[in-house]
Amino acid sequence: MSDYPRTQLPALSSATRRLRTDDCIIVDKRELRKAQIGAGVGNFIEWYDIGIYGYLTLTMTSVFTQGMDQSTGLLVTLLGFAVSFIVRPLGGMILGPLGDRIGRRKVLFFTMALMASATTLIGVLPTADQMGLWVIVPLYLLKMLQGFSTGGEYSGAATYVAEFSPDRHRGFWTALLNTGAQLGFAAGAAVVAATTIITTSVWGASAMLDGGWRIPFLLALPLGLVAISLRKRIPESPSFEVAHEKTEQDDVNPLFVRQSLPKIVKLYWPQILVGIALIAADGTSSYTVTSYMPTYLESQIGMASVTTAVATVVILLLQAVIVPFVARWSDRIGRRPIYVIATVGNLVLLVPAFALMHLGEMWSLYLALFMVSLPSAFFLALTGAVMSELFPTASRYGSVGLTHNVAISLFGGTTPLVSQLLVQVTGNSYAPAFYVMFFSAVALFALTKMRESAARPLLGSVPVVSSTEEAALLVRDQDANPHIDTSTMLLTPLPVVPRQSVLN
């Protein structure tokens, strides 16, 4: 029987049978690579879009809040970052269930087109000098469109890749999404730095304020066209197709039925709470590195924007390398030990890291950023896999969309704004570190309520394997394999067959 606590899953109502080799989904490696690239390119562009706004925060403050007090203008600009995350749950709540109904591929195509369009349009907005402070309204509206599309983007991509991946390597394949995210953010920082260097050397010190800031946003258009072209070619998730076909048979077990949003909350609230706690720790940690550090280093330490951008690019590239190795490690030793390392890492390293930043030296800057980013990399290595492993296939996109986006909206995207407010209100420059540490402590408690999910078939799905030989071994050893629980799989009833025919 399932090792889930009884409160976490609907009661099983249909008889189960033994697993057969023809029940297993054997992944086509070529299709898997195509799926990974198609999903990953969207995640890359999503974080490129977020990154350029984060690294242009002070420039955007001058461009869009001209005439305001500097500190107020900075908060208004950071609110633009936060407002995109406020609507993310709406995107997840609408696009997630839609993805469970019509398929992951179609929704991912839509989210990519919407995200690229919104980012490009920010690049053609008038400035406050041209339109007045009313320009904040269209800026916020476009940021909201970005947030809506992003609400379906990451949860859909994670769900899609997780369902496409072999169970024994799911952590690695889904972690490549966050590797792409770090590369996207690094690309955003690099483009901002390069644009700043080139435009100021050609047109003078005010070049970025005079229009150079538009260039990184406008580059989203060609990047988006490439991503849309790639997404046209990706296949649908095989696990979704199998589950979608079989759930049309009106199975009485709620685990195998596509649920509405209220039913998702009612049936899976324990997993939702665990997921929110983990993503809150992940989000505050990650967004401190990617979105708040440039502002913090410039406003509190007095470092130049180009210096902080270059330093963060180096750290993000290092994270991009670390993430898949940590994910592969989690496939072997489990998700929970990696989460423990991440949470304890934040509790131990953040205060010393912030102290190092205040030394104002280049060596201390890089060491401090590494210390802040290391626990974040451990979190990022697990996000896609664990969120997908918490929920059943029939309702996975909707469940992940709700859980991930609520947590990211409340605790991730608001991190730059809340951190800056904490610094200004308390006068304590270490307040952002304590903010992240609090959520890591909460996540450490949540781990006591989470089952280990590495190497197991996804809930509501049959095993996904890399070869027919692996399928045969899995079936042969199923009675001794703790990862196999046929009561959580959607298996078509078969007539009773002799034991010796099981491997046929």
* Residue 284 pLDDT greater than 60, yes or no: yes
Q: Give the confidence band of 236 by pLDDT, cuts at 50, 70, 90.
A: confident
Q: Give the confidence band of 295 by pLDDT, cuts at 50, 70, 90.
A: confident
Residues 6+ apart with CB under 8 A from 108: 38, 39, 42, 99, 152, 153, 156, 157, 160, 231, 234
User: What average pLDDT does the segment 292-310 reach?
Assistant: 81
pLDDT for residue 2: 40
pLDDT for residue 246: 57
Q: Is position 421 within any domain? A: yes
Tokens of 344: 């304890």
* Residue 209 pLDDT greater than 70, yes or no: yes
Q: From CA 394, how far away is CA 105, in angstroms rounded?
A: 15
pLDDT for residue 443: 97
Q: Give the confidence band of 235 by pLDDT, cuts at 50, 70, 90.
A: confident
Better-predicted residue by pLDDT, 16 or 17: 17
Collapsed DSSP state (helix, strand, coil) of residue 413: coil
Q: Is 200 exposed, middle or buried (0-12, 13-18, 19+ CB in 10 A)?
A: middle
Q: What is the CA radius of gyration of the chain?
A: 23
Q: Is position 502 within any domain? A: no
Contact between 104 and 237 under an 8 Å Cβ cutoff? The reply is: yes
Q: Tell which residue, 295, 312, 317, 380, has the closest CA to residue 346.
A: 380
Q: Is position 58 within any domain? A: yes
Q: Is position 259 within any domain? A: yes
Least confident of 46-60, 86-100, 126-140, 419-433: 46-60
Q: Is position 480 within any domain? A: no
Q: Give the confidence band of 245 by pLDDT, cuts at 50, 70, 90.
A: low
Number of structural domains in the chain: 1
* Residue 85 pLDDT greater than 80, yes or no: no
pLDDT for residue 394: 86
Q: Give the confidence band of 422 by pLDDT, cuts at 50, 70, 90.
A: very high
In the chain, pLDDT over 70 holds for what percent of residues?
92
Tokens of 397: 């996109």
Q: Is 218 exposed, middle or buried (0-12, 13-18, 19+ CB in 10 A)?
A: middle
pLDDT for residue 501: 39
* Residue 247 pLDDT greater than 70, yes or no: no
* Residue 495 pLDDT greater than 60, yes or no: no
Provide the domain limits for residue 387.
6-472
* Residue 216 pLDDT greater than 80, yes or no: yes
Q: How many CB atoms lie within 10 A of CB 363?
A: 9
pLDDT for residue 6: 33
- CATH code of residue 426: 1.20.1250.20
Q: Is position 484 within any domain? A: no
Q: Is 299 exposed, middle or buried (0-12, 13-18, 19+ CB in 10 A)?
A: middle
Q: Is position 105 within any domain? A: yes
Give the DSSP letter of residue 300: I
pLDDT for residue 122: 93
* Residue 360 pLDDT greater than 50, yes or no: yes
Highest mean pLDDT among 7-16, 93-102, 135-144, 338-347: 338-347
Residues 6+ apart with CB under 8 A from 224: 45, 112, 113, 115, 116, 117, 119, 120
pLDDT for residue 403: 94
Q: Is position 478 within any domain? A: no
Least confident of 37-41, 200-204, 379-383: 37-41
pLDDT for residue 252: 56
pLDDT for residue 439: 97
Better-predicted residue by pLDDT, 314 or 309: 314
Contact between 458 and 389 under an 8 Å Cβ cutoff? The reply is: yes
In the chain, pLDDT over 90 holds for what percent of residues?
39
Could you report the per-residue pLDDT of 260-277, keeping only the tens digit for each?
A: 889 999 999 999 999 999
pLDDT for residue 55: 78
CA dihedral 212, 114, 57, 217 (to 10 degrees): -10
Better-predicted residue by pLDDT, 275 or 65: 275
Least confident of 185-189, 305-309, 484-488: 305-309
Q: From CA 351, how far away is CA 367, in angstroms rounded?
A: 13
pLDDT for residue 11: 37
Contact between 154 and 46 under an 8 Å Cβ cutoff? The reply is: yes
Tokens of 3: 């090792």
Query: In terms of DSSP bridges, do strands 25-26 and 464-465 run parallel, antiparallel, or are they unpaired?
Result: parallel
Tokens of 380: 């990022």
In the chain, how long is the greatest CA-to-CA distance?
Answer: 82
User: What average pLDDT does the segment 323-352 reach?
Assistant: 96
Could you report the per-residue pLDDT of 362-410, keeping only the tens digit for each?
A: 999 999 999 999 999 999 999 999 999 999 988 898 999 999 989 988 8
User: What average pLDDT does the segment 413-419 reach?
Assistant: 84
Work out the mean pLDDT of the chain and round it to a whole number: 85
* Residue 481 pLDDT greater than 60, yes or no: yes
Collapsed DSSP state (helix, strand, coil) of residue 26: strand
Contact between 120 and 220 under an 8 Å Cβ cutoff? The reply is: yes
pLDDT for residue 4: 39
pLDDT for residue 7: 33
